[in-house]
Amino acid sequence: MVNCCGLVTVKNEPVPLKSIAVEVSVQGHVATVSSTLQYENQEQSPLEAIFVFPLPGEAAVCRFSAKIGQTEVVAEVQEKQKAQEQYDDALSSGQQAFLLEESDESPDVFKLSVGSLPPGEKASVSLDYVTELAVQADDGLRLCLPAVLNPRYQPQGSDSGSGGSAQVSSVPAGSVPYSLSLSAHVSSPHPISRVESNCPLDPLNYLNTEKTQATVSLAAGHQFDRDVELLLYYQDTHQPTAIVEAAQASAKPGSLMGDPVVMLSLYPEFPKDVMSSMTSHGEFLFVVDRSGSMECPMHLGSGSLDRISSARETLLLLLKSLPMGCYFNIIGFGSSYESFFPKSVEYSQKTMDEALQKVKEMRADLGGTEILQPLKHIYSQPCLPDQPRQLFLFTDGEVGNTKEVLDLVKTNAGSHRCFSFGIGEGASTALISGVAKQARGHAQFITGQDRMQPKVMQSLRFALQPAVVDISVKWNVPKEVSVTLLSPPIRVVFQGQRALLYAQLTGESSGDTEGSVTVKYSLAKQPVENQLSFSLKPAEDTGMAVHRLGARTLIQSLEVEEREQDGEKEGAKEKVIELSVQSGVSSAFTAFIAVHKGDGEALQGQLLRRHVPTPMLNLRGCSLTGFSSSVLERDMKLSELDDRADQLVCSASEFVVGTKNFDSPAPTSKPVRDPLLQLISLQKASGSWVLEAALAEVLVKTEEEVSKPKPAQVDQEVWATVLALVWLYGFKMEAQEEWQFLAMKAVSWIQAQKVASVSECVQAGNTLLGCQVQKDTLGL
């Protein structure tokens, strides 16, 4: 990460943004977020303020308005170039104008231009977006308000940086001169159990006795040192639901906004016998970000590991958890990439030891974040027969060419599943969620005090689930009603993971008001069927959130289609513009424009430009070793609007380079202090443990104390493996999600030894360690 680029405010210069107020309305799995930004020009000349900010990658911006004095102007959606020209024309004729546009490279970064604000004038800008809430490993629904914008790394020689690259002004989080307030109103068909956050919250306030409605607020004094994350927990969250939203009264029937739209939320349950038969096949490719920003801490609290150390611990856990008979490789990437092995190798004691030695030596020393080349390299390698390819991608997500990466993953989606992990604050949701969605995988975000390991092991559990194939969705509606799917077909289903589908309902039924949908698929060669009935009578007062999310889903599919055609056919782009204008939802080819037609005079002289600084994480001690000067200048090119303006004066902030040295010798394996990690590091690839001094140390015993109680006829390795299992179940149950696969391997190994006296072993192990673990609990 580099923070010394882009425009920064000159000392003593007043910053035009004063405050941001956010109101969130959550209905089940969908949130509508309304932000109001207050600006004030305290200077002697007319001012243009530029503010670059992130939004969740799945968000659909659907309303934008500006208020100057008592006059409110609601923006309209127009084709992007036309909107930019109208903005420029308005400024040159002395009118106030507001332009909101999506970045050309990444759909989760927006730029807001507040133009020609007279001296002493105040302006209030309001922005609404709708977004789906992502489901977490513990069934919580995650709403993230990105309050931190990390600069994105633009690959050298990339042609995508020339267009609307957003200019970012960055200051340390504590120096952000504007405030943030946030309040949320939550309503759900199921009772709300609790709401949690990584930031201090005021107490949850229930509005009814059923606990299906509640309000909650962010405590005052937010520091802008992290994204604001809300986690919502409902009872019975796995129940499938359908919401039918009424058409917009003013829209033409037959158009998307003029017909009802249905949103289906599906949670397929797999048969238990299938879930217990995890596959032992697969080619597991662990692709790890080794750019300079991975030296930064996971969070700003005390005792935080840096990101690369957390990745090293996670790789240890993954390498120990892989099933015998699979293949694997580890690829580190930055400005260049390095593979541990020339091609994937079979998993064995020898290859595992070799990989673990290299993991210990792994450093964040490969420069910037260029993800495209390592992916191209992986896709150029032929897939192995009967070893389904599973890609695990770890990155802090500071990538500028997101759309290019997503297109590459989509082109190769048939060859693999991708499980992606966004590490630390400010990771690009568009990138992390996008690659998982395109490659039929699953995305996870690791922020604040989160531990990476449980989330990664959940994804490994998904990767080891049998693949769901032949998915079909059949709609049963009255014959007068037709269904047009707005979402791409469902290509992936995991146990306990939600799939959302949007569809437009055209025509009206004279009698029958019931509809149903049947989802069929094949799992481990068994046919499975799930059915959900729903009422065709639309729910009123849903604020058009479902329509807009349906429009956003269709727009995203069409944008990908347009990029695949490389603009050769105008069809997809024209459809996107038409749909975006009709639904009022942002897209890559449109922008929001609002012009306040006051009695302004034509502009005399230069319009002052001020870039409002965006909070960046104050990552003291981050090293920039390995960055070339061309990388430092990376993606901070001026946007097209900047090119049309007079030359800007840029003042670079001071940046203290940390003292960490990449050339320091690799630490030996001795300092692993966490006894759980120590025990894991001692396990053999087969799943067994050896009776040795290092094992005794973890069990806080001497070697003699550990050897003595071993039943006479039992092999030393079996005894050591039983002791390790008893210790895990006796002392580390809270971390079971992390070690469950190691334990499964150990149990399989013991069973293969055909030991007669397992009960005696478990009993002797309990006595030695002071535990009461039952043989059945161990799975023996």
Mean pLDDT of 502-510: 88
116 neighbors 600 (Cβ within 8 angstroms)? yes
Angle (deg, nearest 10), helices 736-752 and 716-731: 150
pLDDT in tens, 665-681: 343 334 446 899 899 99
- Lowest-confidence region among 120-124, 359-363, 511-515: 511-515
Whether pLDDT at 634 is above 80: no
What is the model's pTM? 0.71
- Asked whether residue 260 is domain-assigned, the answer is yes
685 neighbors 349 (Cβ within 8 angstroms)? yes
Token duo for residue 390: 């599973």
Which of 267-271, 451-455, 669-673 is the most confident on average?
451-455
**pLDDT for 39:** 84
**pLDDT for 737:** 82
Mean pLDDT of 447-475: 80
Are residues 457 and 405 both part of a single domain? yes
- Asked whether residue 605 is domain-assigned, the answer is yes
Looking at 464, 498, 525, which one is the last position of a domain? 464
Cβ within 8 Å of residue 391, ≥6 positions away: 285, 287, 378, 416, 417, 418, 419, 439, 441
Query: What is the DSSP pairing of strand 47-54 with strand 608-612?
Result: parallel
Are residues 498 and 433 both part of a single domain? no
- Residue, of 527 and 725, whose pLDDT is higher: 725
Band (pLDDT 50/70/90 cuts) for residue 592 is very high
**pLDDT for 56:** 80
Alpha-carbon distances of 555 from 80, 257, 274, 524, 769, rounded to whole Å: 15, 14, 37, 34, 60
- Asked whether residue 653 is domain-assigned, the answer is no
- Asked whether residue 561 is domain-assigned, the answer is no
Distance of CA 632 to the CA centre of its chain: 26
Cβ within 8 Å of residue 274, ≥6 positions away: 466, 523, 524, 526
Whether pLDDT at 155 is above 70: no
- Give percent above pLDDT 70 in the chain: 81
Tell me which residue range forms the domain holding 132. Answer: 17-151+168-233+584-618
Whether pLDDT at 739 is above 60: yes
Are residues 439 and 363 both part of a single domain? yes
Torsion of CA 47, 61, 230, 461, to 10 degrees: -130
**pLDDT for 10:** 36
The domain spanning residue 491 has which CATH number?
Answer: 2.60.40.1230
- Residue, of 435 and 452, whose pLDDT is higher: 435
pLDDT in tens, 40-95: 888 888 888 887 877 887 788 999 998 887 888 899 999 999 999 999 999 888 88
Degrees to nearest 5, angle at CA 344 with 463 and 296: 70
Are residues 256 and 297 both part of a single domain? no
The domain spanning residue 608 has which CATH number?
Answer: 2.60.40
Instruction: Report how many domains make up the chain.
Output: 4
Looking at 538, 566, 600, which one is the last position of a domain? 538
681 neighbors 316 (Cβ within 8 angstroms)? yes
Mean pLDDT of 597-614: 62
**pLDDT for 156:** 57
Looking at 464, 482, 503, which one is the last position of a domain? 464
Are residues 218 and 354 both part of a single domain? no
- Asked whether residue 556 is domain-assigned, the answer is no
Whether pLDDT at 779 is above 70: yes
Are residues 299 and 380 both part of a single domain? yes
Are residues 317 and 350 both part of a single domain? yes
**pLDDT for 547:** 94
**pLDDT for 224:** 76
Classify the phi-psi angles of 69: left when phi > 0, otherwise alpha if psi is within -120 to 50, otherwise beta. Answer: left
Residue 336 DSSP class: S
**pLDDT for 564:** 73
**pLDDT for 705:** 92
DSSP H/E element including 654: none
**pLDDT for 646:** 24
Are residues 257 and 380 both part of a single domain? no
Band (pLDDT 50/70/90 cuts) for residue 15 is low
- Asked whether residue 188 is domain-assigned, the answer is yes
502 neighbors 486 (Cβ within 8 angstroms)? yes
Mean pLDDT of 366-386: 90
Owner of token pair 């025990």: 679
Count other C-beta atoms under 10 Å from residue 196's C-beta: 13
Q: How far apart (Å, rounded) are the C-alpha atoms in residues 237 and 135?
A: 10
Residue 267 DSSP class: -
Whether pLDDT at 167 is above 80: no
Are residues 430 and 479 both part of a single domain? no
541 neighbors 552 (Cβ within 8 angstroms)? no
Residue 505 DSSP class: E
Whether pLDDT at 631 is above 80: no
Distance of CA 728 to the CA centre of its chain: 31
- Asked whether residue 390 is domain-assigned, the answer is yes
Band (pLDDT 50/70/90 cuts) for residue 692 is very high
Are residues 303 and 371 both part of a single domain? yes
Mean pLDDT of 112-119: 83
Are residues 71 and 110 both part of a single domain? yes
Whether pLDDT at 566 is above 50: yes
Tell me the pLDDT of the chain averaged across its residues: 80
- Residue, of 129 and 608, whose pLDDT is higher: 129
Whether pLDDT at 358 is above 60: yes
**pLDDT for 226:** 77
The domain spanning residue 425 has which CATH number?
Answer: 3.40.50.410
**pLDDT for 598:** 65
- Asked whether residue 289 is domain-assigned, the answer is yes
Are residues 332 and 443 both part of a single domain? yes
